Chain A
Amino acid sequence: MSRALTVALAFGVLCAGSAEAQTIRVGLSGLGMSYAETNESRSWDGGGGAASLVVRLGRFGLDAYGFTAKLKADSSNVSDFDMLQGDVRASFFIVPVIAVELGFGRRATDPDFAAQDVGLWRFGILSEMPLTRLGIIWIRGAYLAPRFEGGGDVGLSAEVGLGIAVGTANGRFRVRADYEFQRIDRKVDNQDVPLQMSLAKLGLEVGF
Chain B
Amino acid sequence: MIRRVIVAGALLIALTPATLPAQEHPLVRRAQQAYDALDFTGAIRNASAALQQRLTRADRILAYELLGFTYGALDSTRQAVEAFRQLIFLDPDREPDVERVSPRITSLYASALGQVLVVRRLTVDSTSIIAGQGFVRVRFEVTRAARAVTRVVGGGLDLVIDSTLVVAGETQVLWDPVTVSGDPLAPGTYQVVVTAFEGSNQFGAPLDLTLSHSSVDTLAHLTSLPGYTEQPEYETPGRSWQPLGVVLLSTGLAAGAAVALENPNLEIGERKELAGVSLLTLIAGVALSLKKPDPVPVEANILYNQLLREELARRNADIARQNQERRRQVMLTVTPLEGAP
- Could you list which residues of chain A lie within 8 angstroms of chain B, going by C-beta atoms? 32-34, 36-43, 45, 74, 127, 129, 131-135, 137-139, 141, 158, 160-164, 166, 169, 177-179, 181, 183, 185, 192, 194, 196, 198-200, 202
Bound complex: CA A36 to CA B262 (Å): 11
- Report whether A160 and B266 are in contact in the complex, using a CB–CB cutoff of 8 Å: no
The answer, yes or no, to whether B267 is at the interface (CB within 8 Å) is yes
In the assembled complex, which residues on chain A have CB atoms less than 8 Å from the CB atom of B277? 162-164, 177-179, 200
Asked if A179 meets B273 with Cβ closer than 8 Å, knowing A43-B267, A131-B246, A162-B251, the reply is yes
- Report whether A162 and B254 are in contact in the complex, using a CB–CB cutoff of 8 Å: yes
- Report whether B291 and A43 are in contact in the complex, using a CB–CB cutoff of 8 Å: no
Bound complex: CA A198 to CA B269 (Å): 10
Bound complex: CA A6 to CA B243 (Å): 36
Bound complex: CA A42 to CA B261 (Å): 18
In the assembled complex, which residues on chain A have CB atoms less than 8 Å from the CB atom of B110? none
A-contact bits for B247-276, CB 8 A (1 contact / 0 none): 100110111011001110111010111101
Q: How far is the CB of B155 from chain A (nearest CB, A)?
A: 74
In the assembled complex, which residues on chain A have CB atoms less than 8 Å from the CB atom of B276? 32, 177, 179, 200, 202
Most buried by B among A38, A127, A131, A137: A131
- Report whether B273 and A33 are in contact in the complex, using a CB–CB cutoff of 8 Å: yes
- Report whether A181 and B258 are in contact in the complex, using a CB–CB cutoff of 8 Å: yes
In the assembled complex, which residues on chain B have CB atoms less than 8 Å from the CB atom of A196? 262-263, 266
Q: How far is the CB of B271 from chain A (nearest CB, A)?
A: 7
In the assembled complex, which residues on chain B have CB atoms less than 8 Å from the CB atom of A37? 266
Query: 10 tightest CB-CB pairs across the interface, nearest first?
Result: A162-B254, A200-B273, A179-B277, A43-B267, A131-B243, A181-B258, A36-B266, A160-B257, A164-B281, A177-B280
- Report whether B269 and A45 are in contact in the complex, using a CB–CB cutoff of 8 Å: yes
Partner among A131, A160, A200 whose Cβ is within 8 Å of the Cβ of B288:
A131
- Report whether B267 and A74 are in contact in the complex, using a CB–CB cutoff of 8 Å: yes
- Beyond A43-B269, A162-B254, A179-B277, 12 additional pairs, beta carbon < 8 A: A34-B269, A36-B267, A37-B266, A39-B265, A162-B250, A162-B277, A164-B284, A169-B294, A181-B273, A183-B263, A192-B265, A198-B258
CB-nearest residue of chain B relative to A138?
A: B250
Q: Can you list 18 A-B contacts (CB < 8 A)?
A: A32-B273, A32-B276, A36-B263, A36-B266, A37-B266, A45-B269, A132-B294, A134-B288, A135-B243, A137-B247, A137-B285, A161-B254, A162-B277, A164-B280, A181-B273, A183-B263, A192-B265, A202-B280
- Report whether B243 and A132 are in contact in the complex, using a CB–CB cutoff of 8 Å: yes
In the assembled complex, which residues on chain B have CB atoms less than 8 Å from the CB atom of A158? 261
